[in-house]
Amino acid sequence: MYKKLDRNEPCWCGCGKKYKKCHEAFDEKLIRLEHEGYIIPSRDIIKTPEQIEKIKESCKINIEVLDYVAEHIKAGMTTEDIDKLVYEKTTQMGGIPAPLNYEGYPKSVCVSIDDVVCHGIPCDEEILQDGDIVNVDCSTEYKGYFSDSSRMFCIGDVSPEKRKLVEVTKECVQRGLEKVKPWATLGDMAQAINDYAKENGYSVVREIGGHGIGLEFHEDPFVSYVSKAGTDMVMAPGLMFTIEPMVNAGKADVFVDEDDDWTVFTQDGSPSAQWEIMVLVTEEGYEVLCY
């Protein structure tokens, strides 16, 4: 995958340094890992320092938008009200809601309640009720750079069972994050998440996972949360992706609504929860970019 450059050529990352002073050792390590059978990232998804700084500007907006939602979300609101909050705050700050018109998606945000796993489409008819658990998934484009994160909200008097699901899912993200280390694999993170969910009697959705992000809304790699340690892509410094396991109180099986072709439900009607953060792999470990 990696074409070696002459040591005195400019590095492929565009930093202006000679290859030998920049990514030569990095490339050699990845080539060695590939020969050992590991999946390695392509150069086009390894972020440069300049790109990282621009992506962080998008992340600042993303965080502020979710903070704004957190200040206003309450029982009696419609999911359309949440969509308006996201659109107004994002555009006010100079950003663009990344989901809007993405592959035909009609709204600025995904709002998923109780047994909706993800991709819930906001509407005037859906009203937040006391006892609901709600995921608000916010994605932002700013000057051509992308960010993505989501949070769970407990509306009013939520049952202990639902509240535990929300808390365990958040801890799943933390357990996965602790496994994000340079030259480890995405499977290391996935197994930590899946093991903790199972310990608590829950299941992790298989078909839908996280993704690379930054220069595009969705990039390689696909990030599974049910794979095994030592498998999937190597987490090389500069790799950027989301950690966003979807954890079901019941079985892992899901289905897509046939009418809108977007909304994903649990097959057995059990509640589902999801937290999403966006992470950069660094030489020392990781940096959480948005949450």
Task: Name the residue among 114, 148, 121 with its Cα closest to residue 244.
Answer: 148
> Could you tell me the pTM of the whole model?
0.94
Q: What is the mean pLDDT of the chain?
A: 97
- pLDDT exceeds cutoff 70 at 1: no
Mean pLDDT of 49-69: 97
Mean pLDDT of 269-287: 98
The token pair that represents 113 in the structure block: 């309640």
Cα–Cα distance measured from residue 142 to residue 276, given in angstroms and rounded to the nearest whole number = 19
> pLDDT-derived band of residue 261, with 50, 70 and 90 as boundaries?
very high
Cα–Cα distance measured from residue 256 to residue 133, given in angstroms and rounded to the nearest whole number = 20
Q: What is the pLDDT of residue 155?
A: 98
Domain spans in the chain, listed from the N-terminal domain onward: 39-290
In the numeric block, the tokens 């660094």 are attached to 282
Cα–Cα distance measured from residue 161 to residue 92, given in angstroms and rounded to the nearest whole number = 38
- pLDDT exceeds cutoff 80 at 193: yes
The token pair that represents 223 in the structure block: 């990030």
- The total of other beta-carbon atoms located within 10 Å of residue 101's CB is 12
* Domain 39-290, CATH number (from 3.90.230.10, 3.40.1190.20, 3.30.300.30, 3.40.630.10): 3.90.230.10
Residue-wise pLDDT for 75-109, tens only, equals: 999 999 999 999 999 999 999 999 999 999 999 99
